[in-house]
Amino acid sequence: MPVTEGAPLYSTVAHLLPQSYKRTVSQWLEEDTPSFDYGGFVVGEEMTEARLLGKSKGIVAGIPFFNEVFIQLDCTVEWHISEGESFNPIKHCATVQGSVRKLLLGERVALNTLARCSGIATKSASLLTLLREAGYNNTLAGTRKTAPGFRLVEKYGMLVGGCDGHRHDLSSMTMFKDNHIWSAGSIKKAVKAAKAAGGFSIKTEVECQSLEEAIEAGEAGAEIVMLDNFTGEGVKQAAKKLKESTSSIHQGVKHVDFSLKIVPKGESGNKKQAGDGESTAV
């Protein structure tokens, strides 16, 4: 299931990330250890390595976040698979080296992030494949229905999976849903006010419940008309007049299962390990 379209087709998706993502990672670590690390006290500072094992089929996404967790803990990460690459279980995806205490300190934060991001990328790529096989050649986009504080990771997963991230926040684009329309009085009034405030550089999208609303949105100057809960035939009929055209790629998705295994003393670093232990399945 290789990703053959979208942002990955043109460059490295990681190059899109703002420097602020590193502060976000710091906040994750602080949240997980707000006070004493009692477990870390017990295991000590002996240097060792751990193997990141992919335990369910999927696409790897979220490598920059995973790396940054361990960079901040003075550990090193060597990847044996590229971001956006699919794998079958059980796959030795990466090797992490550092003190036992710091490996375990970053384990859960790194795994949770990688699992969630990889799950979204996997679902995104899977849906794109189904759409293309069905002859649909238009854009598959995400939504703003992301977990608070985790939007950057989830949008990143969509991009790695080849999808369009859609708007990233309320400032990226003006989007009107039913509550906006009811409050403004009409679609025309809402679009007119948005254009006055946002100017020509901010696009306007209107969620429409009927063909009549879609036509009104188009005539009002909305650049994007969202046909909400239309049937397939309804979309075709609307498209004939509009010439325009799901949050499911990041809501209700299964995580890709990974585990991070400390290599037992005396065991060869190249020996495969597929035992039980800490994993990310929820």
**Residue 225, class by beta-carbon neighbours within 10 Å (0-12 exposed, 13-18 middle, 19+ buried)?**
buried
- d(Cα 27, Cα 29) in Å, to the nearest integer? 5
Give the CA distances from residue 189 to residues 28, 51, 93, 204, 217, in Å, rounded to whole numbers and listed in that order: 42, 57, 53, 13, 10
Structural contact between residues 205 and 173, judged by C-beta atoms closer than 8 angstroms:
yes
What's the distance, CA 80 to chain centroid?
21
Q: Work out the number of other CB atoms within 10 angstroms of the CB of residue 146.
A: 22
Contact between residue 226 and residue 206 where contact means Cβ atoms under 8 Å apart: yes
Please identify which of the residues 91, 102, 123, 145 carries the catalytic annotation. Answer: 145
C-alpha to C-alpha distance for 90 and 123, rounded to whole angstroms: 19
**Residue 272 appears among annotated catalytic residues:** no
In sequence order, what E strands does the chain have?
A: 47-54, 58-59, 76-79, 86-87, 91-99, 174-176, 204-208, 224-227, 258-262
Residues identified as active-site: 145
